[in-house]
Amino acid sequence: MSNIHFQCPHCRSRASIRTSEEMTLTMREITYQCRNPECGHTFVVTAEVSRTLSPSAMPNPNVLLPISEVVKARLMRQLELLPEAPQR
């Protein structure tokens, strides 16, 4: 599993992942433990996919994510530049 580095919010020491559980297709709960033995804080981080920057070539219909506002604006500018379709 790749590591998302987190620091303990109390003592600012590096924390290690203890467990990671998939809650939904787009959200995980990750339990961290502070490496500072004098602190010992254990805490849960929620990691969630928040938006799409580039659409998947294999889209899952059960995954509904907003498109980044920056990407959406760029796509709209590109659509405005397209020539209109010929009328039938």
Question: Interface with Zn ion by CB under 5 A: which residues?
Answer: 8, 10-11, 13, 34, 36, 39, 41
* CB neighbourhood size of 60 (10 A): 8
7 or 24: CB nearest Zn ion: 7
Distances (CA, A) of 20 to 3, 10, 25: 11, 21, 13
24 or 42: CB nearest Zn ion: 42
Q: How far is the CB of 41 from Zn ion (least distance, A)?
A: 4
30 or 34: CB nearest Zn ion: 34
Angle at the Cα of 62 (from 57 to 67), degrees rounded to 5? 60
Q: How far is the CB of 5 from Zn ion (least distance, A)?
A: 14
